[in-house]
Structure 1
Amino acid sequence: MRITGLFALALASSTAIISTPVLAQADAMTKDNALTYPETKTVDVVDEQFGEKIADPYRWLENDVREDADVAAWVAAQNAVTDGYLKTVEGREALAASMTNLFNYDQLEVPVEAGGKFFYERKSGGQNQAILYVRDGEDDEERVLIDPAEWSEDGATALAEWKPSEDGSLLVYAIQDGGSDWRTLKVMDVATGEIKPDSVEWVKFSNLAWMPGNSGFLYSRFPEPQEGEAFQSLNKNHTVYMHMLGKKQSSDIKVYATPEKPELSHTAEVTSDQQWVVITSSSGTDDRYEITLVKVDAKEIEPRKLVEGFDNSWSLIDGIGDTLYFATNNDAKRLRIMKTDLSKPEDRDVMCDGPDAETTTCSKMEYVWTEVVPEHVATIDNAAIVGDLLVVDYIDDAKSRLETFALDGTPKGLVDLPGLGTVAGLNGSAKSDKGYFAFGSFNQPNTIYSFSDAGSAEIWSKPELPFDPDTVQVTQRFYESKDGTKIPMFLVHKKDLDLSEGAPTLLYGYGGFNISVLPGYSAPKMAWIQAGGVYASANLRGGGEYGKEWHDAGRLQNKQNVFDDFIAAGEYLIAEGITPKDGLAIEGRSNGGLLVGAVMNQRPDLFTTGHAAVGVMDMLRFDRFTAGRYWVDDYGYPSKEADFRKLLSYSPYHNIQDGTNYPALMVSTADTDDRVVPGHSFKYTARLQALNTGDKPHLIRIETRAGHGSGKPTDKLIEEYSDIYGFMADAVGLEVGE
């Protein structure tokens, strides 16, 4: 269980600033030359919504770069200009060397035990993708099970989700190519390494769950898209299937679907004792679910509702026989843990429609819920059953706390953690008295721990690091946002750094979708720190650090709070002397890319440079592509007037201020991003370059054979971040040594 000013209302195509192509000039460009951006054609497209005429002269850049030659040519021209400019930036090679060194350790994942075997991923320095290993016993020698390096020459094909069968003899695993969200499933014999003939395609946003006796597995997928639309068309009609081993995909059994509600998504889990299939249905990104059950040993697939109505979050922890444990925000905004006994439903009176459309009283069997662990001041992030313990991972002021309880909720004590950081990958089962988790922080990559009681945890595997974590200081501060709300922020820098005159600072934020931004190691960010910079991470509203109220305070009509929180973080860093006024760089990815675009429009005077990665930049059309329709829970519906007006007020693409000097900005995206389609970044960059936004560089870096972020090989990460951090270091005066 794991618990997102003034508007430029019109930009007529006739007034767009057109520049000349620079493909031949790119290599000769220097920072002393005025940047000449590629020519970007405009089209006469004007949409009218709620009495507002909205010009969209770069609509054509929404087309798929693989299918549209004009878009492909524009991408090539933009990359040529960006590459030419980056050749003039000193320090990129030094940053690349530093990142290469800082990636040179064993990146460890938490082991999964099945049938006495232990499965885990590890990526060592110099490897582009993690390798899946197995031990036939906990103390046995490891052996390679899957090495994705054999799958492609460029390292851009990755191992994604995987799941061993209950006895550990088989493994179902997902292949991710070029960073896409689409997956292909394969099956392996663990003992021999033989790849079975089974192949399942068009899998997306799916759990993997084995059925008893290794007869088959459950997965979720969308219908096969029309030719040429795989990376842009809306995803609808998500369906849970059961694939029977040895059969073709065409004979897979449909387990659960809602064709009458094609917007719903469904994922399936099986309790660790393999008695119940638990299907979680959602209508968007909000943690509001319906729960449907299927008895594993039933002769027919007969779904029954456990939770009806998309009112609350319900996340399965596990089941023991007919007793299921869930974490829920039902009457608990920071979550609590409840259980229900499926063998003991109660007959209750409910209101129903009688004859002649009159309301009357009916009898209905309902399951009874019992509270096990009550709501706490900290927020539940994860939980697992380990033997006879219920282990709960809390977020306590944006850092982890691990507590254990008896299965009846009796507190059993804390699990000792080695400092300020984050627990990840907590797992175990009622069949074993040993559990596992990872713990890391900004200055410490993940160490894997095992535990068997409510006492201290033991190191299961610890990486040797290419730097001394004790030389890096991690502190937490709280600052006030515009409305007086206290916002937590972590500061990370070398202990011997003299901050008396401030130091160039990289400020990161996200603020959305109930996602908590917790302490974690990043080799690129550590390279910034090792070069003498400060890294700051702000826990903005819209995230999940303080439960439902924190999330609600930063979404829909409250979205401006997120931007205010981030702006206040920048003001605090400058006011406290942590960074000089001309030394503040900002960064955000995805929803965080939207954040960077929005605050650049609202406070271009505050920031010196920024990186907007794979951002949602057109807030009036985000719901028309791939997974964008899910995001209405956080952003609202562009088709509803109140939401439309709020979205238009901060949409990065629509609010670029003509005649205002903008900070140096690097936009980044990828051609295979089918989560936030690259058209968002293309259109935003084209408008930023066309308007009069000052002499600072406003560039876009477009990666090929890459997606929204997952599965990206290490060499591409080093190349990408040495470019981007070199660009920002140059802007804020961070001297990157050789």
Structure 2
Amino acid sequence: MEKVADVPARRQPADEEIHGRLVPDPFRWLEDDTSAECERWLREQQRLLAEHAAAWRAGPLFRALLGGLTDSGGAVVPVVSSPVLRGRRRFFLRRCAGQDLPVLFTALDGEDAGAEHVVLDPMRLDPSGRTILSAWRLSWSGRLLAFQVDVGGAEEPVLQVLDVTDGQMVGQPLAPGLRSPVAWLADDTGFYYVTGGPTEVRRVRLHRIGDDGAHDPVVFETQMRHLSVSLGPEGRWLTVSAAPGAQTGNILHLADLAQGPAGPRGPAAPEFVRVHDGTADGSSALIKTGPRGLLYGITNAGAPLGRVCLIDPADPRSTAWTTLVETAPGSLLSACTALTDPSSSQVQLLVSTVSNGVPRLCLHDLTGRKLTDITTPGSGPGSISALSTPPGDTDRLWFTYTDFTTPPAVHRLTLPQGQCQPETGHPPAGSTSPSRHERPAVRQITYRSADGTPVSLYLIAPAADHDGPRPALLTAYGGFGASAAPAYSPTITAWVRAGGIYAVAAIRGGGEQGTTWHAAGKGHNKPNAFTDFAAAARYLIDHQLTTPAQLAIKGASHSGLTVAVALTRDPELYAAAVCSDALTDMVRYPRFGLGAWWTKEFGTPDDPAQLDTLLSYSPYHNVRPGTRYPAILLTSPRTDPRVGAAHMRKFAAALQQATTSGKPVLLRTEDGVGHGPRAVSRYTPLQSDALAFCAHHTGLLPASNG
């Protein structure tokens, strides 16, 4: 029998009665990570992990593979960003081979671009790599940079202003509480930002450069959890969006800083008009500005896949918006920006859509008439993101393209030619050289869930033919309306290069098919997401792509919840599971981290009917003693300010006590990181451990890293 970590015998279960139901909670004592008992238990977990990790033969291989592959970048280890243009200068992030974190650079724009200069290097701020540049926003002149850094994964950012011309800090740091949007005034004299911690009133404030932030005036406040603010380069239209949760529908407010009942109004006294309220029907809207006074909106109100609308400043209410572009059936609107064609001096809208995973770009005029399709870099499923245009009249656009076999790279589109070209001015080091390895084979198939719903599944496998089943890794996200977009991942590439199959399922609860797909997997419908995931596993097995003895599942955050539910519902389907940074106690989740922000996604245990749904899948409460669970690796920051590390500790203890399979249940915790991005030197060991663990328990034994 597998040895497990000791559990203090004197601890009594903290069971409680909720709405007439007795809800067991035998490991509540592990919620207190400052107690001596918890510390002792965690030390025992470390010992147990080290004992098993020594036997993972593929560990050195995956460390070597990931060490090279991360130089090409990926969503969580980026190497390059779309440039932001201000005046004659461009600003961009780049991480060269061997660097731990991206560095913010600047250079002259155009053919006469001069030498690049470092604007901000997180490693100079903190050589330990524990300080992450989490957000940055340039003033409209490009002279000032507002940036935010997180230290040690705490997600309590410091907001500072840097004078780009001399590299000196300006004024005193601000403490917004959580990461904040920054909306610069047109004249660089200040910016709007958002303050308030997880349990506090959220407020939009105006900060004047050089002023004491303690006295920054409040221009808007709300009890809603999500609050954002934006202001275009013309400095006229100020928008504030408030929402009770992620992808729950928003209330959109608009203020004209140039007009008001009593004449011109200053930035500190905006008069807001409510232009959209989607909290009843779950619809969202946003307002954007473009060249020559253009005001347009993007919304899914009455259009689950999205539409682009023209706004009349005289009546900006969303009910009065004129639809310009509504996507075709099955085509999801992902972004829109405005360009000016120099040959005609006409403003045009570039609309980005996704259909069955394939991104498309199309130009429309301001009547909505389609002008032309733009040829995009890839020919199949992929992702176009980070659209960037200079302020004012512009004929240029930058974006990032990636797919499962192509590392992220920046491309440029220029009118009137309308041709996309790779951005060659500042290529990411290490990412443009051709690989000596064959590209993996990528297939997109559709399988049926238990209720007959068709679900998309991506299969990434070695290019060489292989008869019979092989070790496979399955993942999915399925929450908060976020899409599992096709994108390059060093982790996926490493697993496939070692000989395995990687499968990504677009289950309900995500955003792949718009708001209706999200609604089909949220709240009381959340179990649909987990049913879809189990159906994906059965598809892989039934079609002899893998077997239960060769199938591993892996996920983090909401994806980790999906994995946790899967291994407790159908443990016989899987040989191994890696679950990271996940909710597992769905009764007490609102008490940890930002959990109270997510009741619109999962439901609240305060409601009896919603409690029933939560308990039906809550992983911690569905651990069954005497069950043969697969090999399980749970990973978590030592302290997780977003989810709460107690979830992983309690789940680990419950599984260790319950399993009878003889396979290990291990917990990997890590200091100095949080729920969000991390340095490459922290990413590589975590992912190599996860892959080596899965390889060990699925029989994947790669010979070398080639």
Check whether TM > 0.5. Answer: yes
Name the counterpart of 2:82: 110
Rounded Cα–Cα distance in structure 2 between residues aligned with 1:285 and 1:650: 21
- Please tell me whether the aligned partners of residues 224 and 242 of structure 2 are also in contact (alpha carbons under 8 angstroms): no
305 and 376 in structure 1: CA distance in 2 versus 1, 3 angstrom threshold: same
1:51 to 9, 16, 20: 20
Q: Which moved more, 1:303-312 or 1:279-288?
A: 303-312
Match of 1:717 among 672, 683, 692: 683
Select which of 129, 145, 160 maps to 1:155.
129
Q: Show structure 1 runs of 4+ deviating over 4 A.
A: 319-323
User: Is contact 2:289–2:296 with CA below 8 Å preserved after alignment?
Assistant: yes
Equivalences for 1:108-147 in 2 at 5 Å?
A: 108-138=80-110, 139-147=113-121
Q: Distance in 1 between matches of 2:437 and 2:234?
A: 41
Residue 303 of structure 2 aligns with an amino acid whose one-letter code is: A
Shift in Å, 1:321: 6.4
| 2:5 paired residue number | 37
Query: How far apart are residue 410 of structure 1 and its match?
Result: 1.4
AA aligned to 2:521 is: G
- Is the counterpart of residue 444 in structure 1 residue 403 in structure 2? no
Aligned to 1:407: 366
Match for residue 11 of structure 1? none
Cα separation, partners in 2 of 1:457 and 1:61, compared to 1, 3 Å = same
Does 2:189 align with 1:215?
yes
TM-score by length of 1: 0.88
Separation (CA, whole Å) in 2 of partners of 1:180 and 1:467? 38
> 1:293–1:304: 8 Å Cα contact kept in structure 2?
yes
- Cα drift, residue 170 of structure 1: 0.9
- 1:164-243 alignment runs, 5 A limit: 164-223=138-197, 234-243=198-207
Distance 1:376 1:430 in 2: 30
**1:84-113 deviation line (CA, Å, top 9, x unaligned):** 211121110111011101112462111111
- The one-letter amino acid of 2:412's match is S
Give the conservation status (yes or no) of the 8 Å contact 1:105–1:466.
no
Note if contact 1:45-1:59 (Cα within 8 Å) is conserved in structure 2.
yes
Which residue does 2:261 correspond to in 1?
A: none
* 1:381 equivalenced with 2:334 (yes/no): yes
Choose from 445, 452, 456 the match for 1:488.
456
CA drift of 1:320 comes to 5.1
CA contact (8 A) 1:48 1:54 kept: yes
Q: 1:342 aligns with which of 305, 313, 331?
A: 313
Aligned-partner SS, 2:648: helix
Deviation of 1:688 (Å): 0.7
1:459 pairs with 2:425: no
For the Cα contact (< 8 Å) 1:441–1:521, is it kept in 2? yes
Describe the superposition over 1:306-361 as per-residue Cα deviations: whole angstroms up to 9, x where unpaired: 2235242102333556653121111101111112212346xxxxxxxxxxxxxxxx
Deviates more, 1:631-640 or 1:571-580: 571-580
Q: Does residue 470 of structure 2 align to residue 509 of structure 1?
A: no
Q: Gaps spanning 5+ residues in structure 2: where?
A: 74-78, 259-264, 341-346
Structure 1 residues 662 and 44: CA distance shift in structure 2, 3 A: closer
Confirm or deny: 8 A CA contact 1:273 1:319 kept in the other structure: no
Match of 1:735 in 2: 701
> What is the CA–CA distance in structure 1 between the aligned matches of 2:701 and 2:130, rounded to whole Å?
32
Q: 2:242 aligns with which of 270, 281, 296?
A: 281
Deviates further, 406-415 or 564-573 = 406-415
Alpha-carbon shift at residue 627 of structure 1 (Å): 1.5
The answer to whether the aligner puts 1:248 opposite 2:209 as a matched pair is no
For 1:653, give the aligned amino acid: Y
- Structure 1 residues 279 and 438, CA, compared in 2 at 3 Å: closer, same or farther? same
* Cα deviation digits, residues 41-63 of structure 1 (max 9, x gap): 53331211121111212112222
RMSD: 1.9
Give 1:607-626 correspondences, 5 Å limit: 607-626=574-593
* C-alpha displacement of 1:70: 3.3
- Deviation of 1:265 (Å): 2.8
User: Aligned equivalents of 1:735 and 1:35: distance in 2?
Assistant: 26
Counterpart of 1:595? 562
User: In the alignment, which residue of structure 1 is the partner of 2:440?
Assistant: 472
Is residue 2:396 matched to residue 1:396? no
> Structure 1 residues 378-387 or 715-724, which shifts more?
378-387
In 2, are the aligned partners of 1:488 and 1:538 still within 8 Å (CA)? yes
Match of 1:695 in 2: 662
Does structure 2 retain, via aligned residues, the 8 Å contact 1:43–1:59? no
Whole-Å separation in 1 of the counterparts to 2:8 and 2:433: 47
* Aligned counterparts of 1:290 and 1:366: Cα–Cα separation in 2: 11
What is the TM-score when the length of structure 2 is the normalising length?
Answer: 0.91
Question: Is the Cα contact below 8 Å between 2:241 and 2:250 reproduced in 1?
Answer: yes
My pick for the range that moved more, 326-335 or 197-206, is 197-206
Using the TM superposition, name which of 530-539 and 193-202 deviates more.
Answer: 193-202
CA positional deviation for 1:366: 8.7
User: Relative to 1, partners in 2 of residues 1:317 and 1:693: Cα closer, same or farther, differing over 3 Å?
Assistant: farther
Residues 94 and 38 of structure 1: is their aligned pair in 2 closer, same or farther, counting only changes over 3 Å?
farther
Shift of 1:367: 6.9
Match runs of 1:636-715 below 5 Å: 636-710=603-677, 712-715=678-681
Give secondary structure in 1 for the equivalent of 2:594: helix
The Cα offsets for residues 349-382 of structure 1, whole Å up to 9 and x where unpaired, read as: xxxxxxxxxxxxxxxx997211111242211122
Q: 1:371 aligns with which of 323, 328, 338?
A: 323
For the 8 Å contact 1:156–1:706, the answer to whether it is kept is yes
Measured after TM superposition, the shift of residue 244 of structure 1 is 0.9
Which residue identity is paired with 2:458?
Answer: F
Return the alpha-carbon distance in structure 2 between the equivalents of residues 696 and 62 of structure 1. 25
- Tell whether the 8 Å contact from 2:291 to 2:338 is kept in structure 1 after alignment: no
Q: How does 1:521-536 map to 2 (within 5 A)?
A: 521-536=488-503
Q: CA deviation at 1:631?
A: 1.1
| Rounded Cα–Cα distance in structure 2 between residues aligned with 1:222 and 1:676 | 18
User: Is 2:184–2:192's contact at 8 Å kept on the other side of the alignment?
Assistant: yes
CA distance in 2, matches of 1:56, 1:173: 42
2:423 partner amino acid: W
Question: Matches of 2:129 and 2:434 in 1, distance apart?
Answer: 24
Deviating more after overlay: 194-203 vs 652-661: 194-203
Shift of 1:672: 3.3
Is the aligned partner of 1:295 residue 2:256?
yes
